[in-house]
Structure 1
Amino acid sequence: MQVEGSVNGNPCHLTVDTGAEKTLVRPDMLATTRIPDAPKRLCGVTGHCVQLKGPVDVSIGVGRAVERLPVYVADLDKPCLLGLDYLTQSKACVNLGRKLVRVRGQEVPLLPEVGCAEVVVAERVHLAPRTEARVRCRLSRAMRGSEGMVEPTENLRLADSVVFGWSLVQVGEELVMVLVANLSNEARKVPAWAKLATCEEVERPEETLGSAEVAVMRPLPDFLEDLGNRSAANLMEAQTEKVRHTLAQYVDVFRRGDMDLGRTGFVKHSINTGTRQEMQRIVNELAAQGVSERSDSPWSSAVVLVKKKDSTQCFCVDYRALNDVTARDSYPLPRIDDTLDALVGAKWFSTLDLKSGYRQVEMAVV
């Protein structure tokens, strides 16, 4: 039995279990991951046991009634299992005849039961390397709905590198087709009557696509007509209408032609240069010292940071392109004896050096 409800404000289906002493929740329904282990285990009829965690205080809502109580945490198939502790605290009463549960005087309808069946392979299957195939399977019981969600069993054991995923199938017939893939470089076999998965009926509204909606459905543009036909190749008429309706609804998502590139804003690519912040700091410092200024000159040159021996960064300008077009200014060095003769008669000697001569010599304006 299930009812619509919430755990800590998160909407979900709550399973009413009058045979459970304590209320259990699944870990993903809680915001925190730091939950202590409890000295208790949850054991099923098959003897398989699961370690419990907690207890933790949570708020469970059914209808307008919200109860705060300590619950245990366990890996469950369902989001939350309401035990006797919750039913007692909330003064809940289950009325199977009217298919409702009364919580604090408020009547909340039970959700319709969803059928479930096992999916077994109808005949032995040979899978070629690196291929996938649609495998004919049988359901262990007849199902009332028209569609079912097939999901792998918890302890699914197939040949190495053979995988099986979730799929939506038509359950109105005795046989269903599911997709199985062989990811290895060798052939694999799936034996007959192997249990692949479980199939659960899909709950759907009574009318997904009303007649009024069909009447105003826009025709597919020419550039989507081929996609619509290929997508509906193996579908029934009602499914084909749904596919075409979805394509018409999201027509702006598809490319109209070779020149229609389009773009997405869901993700944005960023390039981390690693040194941009340091470069910007040095540029701001040079501007503050009056060494550099903003310019739109065509003779701009790239800058690079070079790591020095003391691990600091040296700000360098790549002037190779400028040097390639600069006229050579060559002249001989002065004679050493002439330089020494110039010091004759001097008694005091000193040396002077610019702090940053490369940036302290003025540039001539051309």
Structure 2
Amino acid sequence: MTILSKRIFDKIKLDDAPFLQQGAIKVTGVNGAGLKVEGHAVMDIILDGHKYTHPIFVCEVFPDAILGQDFLLKHVSAIDYKRLKLNSRNSSLSCWIASEAEMSCRVEVSETTVIPPHSGAWIIMKIPRANKLAPVGMIAGKRDLPPGLNIPDCIIDTSEEVQKINVLNFSPDEVKHHCNMVLGLAESLYIHEGVHDRCASVYCDANADASNSQSTHLPGHLKDLWQRSSKHLSIDESADLAILLAKYQQVFATSSADLGRTSQVEHRINTGTACPIRQPPRRQPLGKREIEKRRDPEDAGTGSN
């Protein structure tokens, strides 16, 4: 999936920000931890001056944005890894590597160690390809460790020759960690300073064409209808429905007070040769009298029933 950082999404002006659709979507990071998903919407991605409309998920992630495989399969015809280029039907986009620290490395046990019950120990570890990490790294323990074991997240100096990690054993039995056993993942840790594009820019175009503008600015009285109707629709189908509702929003009443008589249509009933008759008005049925009493005063005079 293609992801936009919530930090970047919050910088979009409120009037231009697209409406985020909610859904039962779970996103897991490379370390196995779940990522909070704020929602998704159809936005415009600008690559080398060309616009690509694509569904984007807003999550709490560190990178500004991530172009997912869904975007690459739909819009990118070829990836030239040697020349670092993305070739689309419209252009050839040059890419660059912000740092060699954009990778995750396994954290393995260097030598077999036994941890007594209800205790902790510093285990000598090794990180293959640690030279590809930033000078400062962060270690996150595996989520599927044996019951009772815990590895607190920690910060390390990746340049040190001997690395140790604290492993806690809360179980009543001793635990043996064999050589080359994987304990977790090490990732680069650094401060992101200044405004620096780490990926292709992703933003909501305030001057987008009418259809995209309508889908991202759905009137408030139609949002509930859209959400309920999109329950079993795909992302693209949901976006199409939003465009349809926004296009014909004038045919939907904004409230009960918006209902009433119309002069747009004339209705004729052919009574043949029958003569007109006069009847006294009928009383309201008992079941409807309480409803009539609770009627919104704003509806009075609209002629709605």
Quick check: TM above 0.5?
no
Sort the TM-score into its range (normalised by shorter chain). Answer: 0.3 to 0.5
Q: TM-score, normalised by structure 1?
A: 0.34
Larger Rg: 1
Q: TM-score, normalised by structure 2?
A: 0.39
